[in-house]
Amino acid sequence: MPNFTEKLSGFWHWYHDLYNNEWYIEAGLEKFEKKKLQSIELKDSSLKKFKKEIENCQKCSLGKTRTNFVFGVGNEKAELMFVGEAPGKDEDLQGIPFVGRAGQLLNRLLKHIHLNREDVYIANILKCRPPKNRDPLPEEVEKCLPYLHKQIELVNPKLLVALGKVAGQNLLKSQFSLSNLRKRIWQYQNIPLIVTFHPAYILRYPAMLDEALEDMKFIKKELESLHSTG
Ligand code: SF4
């Protein structure tokens, strides 16, 4: 069993590899990822139409402070849909979810189960960045959540994955802690739902990486079993 230092060292090598030891190319990488992601977003006219309908939303005060409205991105026919919490700084600047370091880590976690960003759809509970990345307020969630419900309806995934406690609690209307939400199959309107860590949390607590990788295997296994049951 590796101790904490060994785990930290392992994570660092993994993370180091993720950035290919060239931190200075990060901006270029992000530009590349943005271009690649834009090329796969919103081919479906119903999602495109829905984005147009809501992209100027001012239903809560975050509409005034955002740089960009962050709708969602990915394969509009995805079998696997991820739901995060809210846009961060990079996402607010680029208008695309999960493009910063947490997004790069999510890409790597997907690769662990042989998936790419192009295979999945990703959206957040909130479409606009809360100032200083604070937690979403209940009134913001209440106003914004119907947009996510509609996105889920349009994508109609076989399996939903909530990234982090905030996404899990709000989708399941539960107050359970993350540890109680993980490693179980929940139901969101007849769609199976699994809750795992938010990638930003793993960046803060790298010792949780092993558990996050186990969750990814659990997600893959559930997706495969959904295939076998049609
Ligand atoms: S966070 Fe949601 S409800 Fe608030 S302004 Fe943005 S889109 Fe509208």
DSSP letters, 93-123, are HHTSSS-SHHHHHHHHHHHHTT--GGGEEEE
Pocket test for ligand 1, best of 124, 143, 149 (most atoms within 8 A of CB): 143
What pLDDT digit, counting tens, does each position of 14-69 carry?
555 544 433 333 444 455 455 555 545 555 579 999 999 999 999 999 999 999 99
pLDDT, position 45: 73
Residue 65 falls within a domain, yes or no? yes
Q: Is 175 in contact with 193 (CB distance < 8 Å)?
A: no
Is there a domain that residue 7 lies in?
no
54 falls within a domain: yes
- Compute the distance between CA of residue 192 and CA of residue 221 in angstroms, rounded to an integer: 13
Residue 73 lies in a domain: yes
Q: Are 119 and 110 in contact (CB under 8 A)?
A: yes
Mean pLDDT, the chain, rounded, equals 87
Residue 4 included in any domain: no
pLDDT at 186: 98
pLDDT reported for residue 228: 80
Dist. CA 129 → ligand 1 center (Å):
9
- Tens of pLDDT, residue by residue over 117-163, are 999 999 999 999 999 999 999 999 999 999 999 999 999 999 999 99
Q: Is residue 17 domain-resident?
A: no
pLDDT reported for residue 34:
56
Tell me the three state secondary structure of residue 190.
coil
User: How far, in Å, is the centroid of ligand 1 from the Cα of 6?
Assistant: 42
The share of the chain scoring above pLDDT 70, in percent, equals 80
Pocket test for ligand 1, best of 50, 53, 62, 129 (most atoms within 8 A of CB): 62
pTM recorded for the entire structure: 0.85
**Residue 179 sits in which domain range?**
25-228
| The pLDDT value given to residue 27 | 43
Total tally of structural domains belonging to the chain: 1
pLDDT at 41: 54
In a domain, 16, yes or no: no
- Using the predicted structure, report yes or no on whether residue 74 has a pLDDT greater than 90: yes
CATH number of the domain within which 179 lies? 3.40.470.10
Ligand 1 pocket residues where CB is under 6 Å: 57-60, 62-63, 126-128, 140, 143-144
> Is 193 domain-assigned?
yes
User: Ligand 1: which residue has its CA nearest to atom 3?
Assistant: 144
